[in-house]
Each structure stands twice: as C-alpha cells, then as structure tokens.
A = this chain, B = another copy of it.
Amino acid sequence: MAKEINKIEVMEDIYEENGRLARELNTRLSAQGIFAVNVLGSPGTGKTSALLQITKMLLPAVSYVIEGDIESNIDTFTLQKAGVDAFQINTYGGCHLDAPMMIKALEKFALPKPGYLFIENVGNLVCPAEFEIGEHLKLLICSTTEGSDKPYKYPLIFEKAAAVVLNKIDLMPHLDFDKKFFIDGLRGVNKSAPLFEVSSKTGEGFDALITWFKAKKG
C-alpha cells in the first residue's frame, strides 16, 4: 500500500521529536532530584501490585507514581488508597505513553520533593518499547503466568530493559513455566539486565530489587 511510505516518514519524524523532548524532560527531572522509572509489561502482569510493594519498601524515600492507561483510573485509585502519591494519564486509545504526554502531565502534577517517579506505561509489550518518556531507566515486569517464550516473541522490550522482574513466582508450582528457556531468551537479547524473581502477593524477592534501585539512583 503506497500510504505505508508516508506513515514510515511521519513516524521517523515523531520518534526524533519525541526523543528530543524526552531528553529535555530527563534533564529537568534530574535537576529536581527525581529518578524516573518507565515501568513496562503486558496487561495483567502485576505492574501496579509490584509498585505497591516497591513504593512501600523504598520508604522513607519519596515515591510518586503516574499511571498510564487507555481508559479508567482503577490503578491510581488502588495506589492512592494505599497512601501512594499517584496520578492518572489516560491515552484514550493510544497504545503507549510518549514524551509530550509526560510533559503535559507534569505541568499539572506536582512533584515537590526529590525521590522516585514510577511511570506505569500502558500494558503492552510492543509499542511502549519504542518511545522514551524522560525516564532514567526502563523496568520490565513479566510474570510466570505469561509463559517462558516472551523474550523470543517481543525481543525489543527485553533488549531495552535495565532490569527484568519475573512476578507471580508464588504460582510457579501450578504452571509449566520453563525458567531456563526464559533466561536463555532474555540473555539472547540482553546480557546485563539483572533478573529479580518476586511475588507481589507475598512480597518475596523485592529486597534485592530495592537494593538495586537505591544503587541506581545513587
């Protein structure tokens, strides 16, 4: 289809402009003492449940959360009920967050203190991997229930992750999850990202992730 060429050209311009805005935002956040984490993962992988554990365990450090969803504010409400400073962005059909959305959101949402900013992207293993949103690093949350073949099928998002979390390890006894196959797939595209095995339900495994976050933020 001839239109495809126009689409590719327009998308290249958009990636370039987005990248420029993301770098500007990142510089601004750094100057404010905000360490921004782009939290990625499939729908239902447990991103919000993990953030409930992470923000609690980082205390007394300040954490803010921005929730990116196509529609609804279910997760923001869950976090706020637990005492987390959480804000909502709705993309109304958009399959990922981008830098302009983040800049607009941060004009409205106040981050008065230095600390962590977790940005939960739209649940999607494809498009969010392609857009920088001002983050210092990308955290990819996977879960045992999604199966062990994900690094082979969605390599870009695994490649770009600074760390990978394998959530829902409490369900492992009931599944046929092949951990060796998962790790081999991850290492095929990303040699260095640490892998943290956790259960957001029981809290198991989060200590190591928290230690890693603190070292990264410095």
Contact = CB atoms under 8 A, between A and B. Distances in A.
Interface of A: 1, 3-4, 6-7, 10-11, 13-14, 17-18, 21, 42-44, 69-72, 74, 93, 95, 100, 122-127, 143, 145-147, 149-150, 152-156, 168, 171, 174-175
B153 A70 contact: yes
A197 B147 CA distance: 20
Given A14-B3, A171-B171, A174-B174, A153 B42 contact: no
A196 to B, nearest CB: 19
A162 B208 CA distance: 45
Contacts of A150: 43-44
Contacts of A124: 95, 124-126
Residue among A95, A122, A156 with the most chain B CB within 10 A?
A95
A42 B123 contact: yes
Given A3-B13, A44-B42, A126 B70 contact: yes
Contact of A174 (B70, B146, B171): B171
B100 A1 contact: yes
A71 B154 CA distance: 7
Contact of A17 (B3, B10, B147, B149): B3
A3 B7 CA distance: 12
A13 B147 CA distance: 37
A153 B71 contact: yes
A72 B188 CA distance: 13
Contacts of A125: 43, 123-124
A171 B153 contact: no
Given A42-B44, A127-B127, 16 more contacts: A1-B100, A4-B14, A6-B10, A7-B10, A7-B14, A42-B146, A44-B143, A44-B146, A72-B149, A74-B152, A93-B156, A123-B154, A124-B125, A143-B145, A171-B171, A171-B174
